[in-house]
Structure 1
Amino acid sequence: MFPQKRRTRVLAVAAATTVLALTAACSGGGGGDEEANDDGTPSGAITVLTWRTDLVEDGTFDDYVEKFKAAYPEVTDVKVEGITDYEGEVKTRMSTDNYGDVLAIPGSVTPDQYADFFEPLGDQEEMAKEYQWINDKSFEGKSYGIPVVGNVQGYVYNKRVWEEAGVTEFPDTPEAFLDALQKIKDNGVEIAPLYTNYKDGWPLSQWDGWLGAVTADPDWKNKIVESDTPWTPESDYGVVDGLIYQAVADGLTEADPTTTNWEESKRLLGTGQVATMVLGSWAIPQMQAAAEAAGEDPADIAYAPTPVKVDGKFHSVAGGDYNLGINVHSKNKATARAWIDWFNHESGFSESQAGLSPIIDGPVPAALEGFVSEVELITLNPAPEGKEALFGDIDKASGIVTTDPKFRQQTIDDARSGARTIEQIFDDLNAKWAEGRASVA
């Protein structure tokens, strides 16, 4: 059976926040409808943008709002706006001043742009005494975002389907992972061993969670900005993108990736029609809920680490999910900051989402206790001072844009059609990356 041991504590990783009072006065338009009191007391109304449309629709955020208003009686309203295409729509809205008061910082915003769009929340070093993974959205010593939850990276799978196919141990090499998928395919022709979620696009970025775990190197990202060849058979990018290519080429994914559906994929995994999806640990409760709604056992949904061992150990990257920030144009920054602090300390969100607490030494959810007992967690090191934007600059200059789903959709297209071999893909990517580096330099 898959290991299900318990561990009560995760690695303590520096990252955190100060509880600094923010004044409400600010020029420009924001999302809130009312100004806060001059003394900085949370009051009035704010707008919160969220990517968690499911929690808006099921009333979870309504409950959060009522509890927050009970804690701050002078707050009149918190409008929570769920956005399906979060990255795309928020990026567009940020061309104006009106993008809410509190929002998750989109991945397209580069570190050198943080101050243009977001209010600094405090000194990075001071905030690191309370919160984990605070480096993710910090620049030049200032922090602009606080993660709502910490995720570990690997893949979610239907344990019943895997065990029925005779796979009872975590695959420890990419080849063993592919072999496991092949066994699942051979055991049930109606089962998709691996689901790409190609059509929705954004789930393909979840494979990035394996980067760093492949080589157990917390500096992998800082090293490739100094390299002209990030895609090799042994590198983090090479292993991840090579595995995607091979799985598709071997027919181990859904029959037609252009017809995938994110919401439907949850039910498919829960019922065993899909065996595996590469997603962060945040996906566990969503998949379990879908299994239960379909009349299946939610205990069938389990989580496994990146299928690579280094020095005899599995590794998983632990890091913050979306970071909440404050619109620099907000008219009600005191209430916006109060919402962020309350959400992280009082809402119970991280535990409800089977995630690690962003607060140092916070609780480990039951769903991950077995996982973390078998896996060494690593946290990626921040870029050196002065090079915070270098990866993003090279990525954009190269034309690859690894944050765009089209990057991996093209790999899947090539694997399906056979138009290019993985070696040709890597050669092309490396050439573009080298050009990008030369351009930025």
Structure 2
Amino acid sequence: MQVTETLNEGLKRGYAITVTAAEIEEKVTTKLTEAQPDIEMKGFRKGKVPLALLKKQFGQRIMGEVMQESIDGAMNEHFEKSGDRPALQPEVKMTNEDWKEGDDVHVEMSYEALPAIPEVDFSGVKLERLVVKSDDESVNDALGNLAESAQDFKARRKGSKAKDGDQIVLDFVGKVDGEPFEGGAAEDYPLVLGSNSFIPGFEEQLVGVKAEDEIDVNVTFPEEYQAEHLAGKEAVFSCTIKEVKEPVAAEIDDELAKKYGAEDLEALKGQIAERLEAEYAGASRAVMKRALLDELDKLVSFDLPPSLVEAEAKQIAHQLWHEENPDVQGHDHPEIETTDEHNKLAERRVRLGLLLADLGQKAEVDVSDAEMTQAIMNQARQYPGQERQFFEFVQQNAQMQQQLRAPLFEDKVIDHVLDQIEVTEKEVSKDELEKAVESLEDE
């Protein structure tokens, strides 16, 4: 077997691989000889089938396996000797397409090598960690929001008209073609106007009603309505309004605390303070992480694999296009052209991605099975009732596993770097932290 370099420009590499016919023949014979004792064929005792007959019967299939194994082996041996790591899967193609048995196999392999990452001197890097303490005002604001969420309703003055957000208590009977239908009637039903819990157009017609009003509501069931016999049908609901109620926030007291699983109001305040400080810490980390990445981007410079930059730029352009065109759900749209801005951002992401990967490898940073399991469980909670199926899907999908592992790995590398640099704490207000976070979104 021969491996000859044909291209070495920057990070681009090219090699010609030749597997001789004699090597192929020898490996085919070896495979058949090893299998011969277990082969049975009509007219021969087990293990006594002549090698020549085995070659005639199985030679072509075995030869294909041998050729693939030989090429794979040559590639692996090359990467072990050269130390190269391909940025993407190497491109491999057979150059003598008119190959026939007895000919040598000629293959071309090309790829872009990952660059050597220079050592980074962190001695001059200094960062600030923004610290926000939860105060009584913030806790009380959060309590007020909880009280709004736990709102109740009280009767409006007699004769008051229902507004959007009010709750009305009503009896109704629905009919299609003059006939009542199953599930189309109820008594003393509490309906919050604007909740969109009824058929489109139903609630809007009840805005302005008063207690004791009787009103017919005309609607059309959606074409995709779950009950097929009603889909697309026009219906009339005869409604009797019994009460009109306005929303009122719940009292901020021990009873409210118990609704949210706390023993009393003081315990709930403590939980809110802890949650707020955790949110502030998360926001502060995001700000500091961006500052660290900005510093690292200034500290290192090395050649980037064009294929990685191009792929990243296309992904960025595609993502931004969909954000600007949220109505387009699929991907059957025209090809999206990348811009200089996309390419510049892609270069930064690829550079920092390669640097963090190198720093993590040198520091032997690893994501444990327990950390992966926790990450999968966190994602699975987004699919109530289907957690088990999601878990099994991730276990069988290597790409999904990598998507979950990558941010965990990156965060651990960031922590490793932060341990090596000077970090000072700076106490700021909640508004100052929010402005710092907003500046991240603007960039």
Which interval holds the TM-score relative to the shorter structure?
A: under 0.3
Q: Which has the higher contact order (CA 8 A, sep 6+)?
A: 1
Output the TM-score relative to the length of structure 1: 0.20
Output the TM-score relative to the length of structure 2: 0.20
Q: Which has the higher helix share?
A: 2
Q: Which has the higher strand share?
A: 2
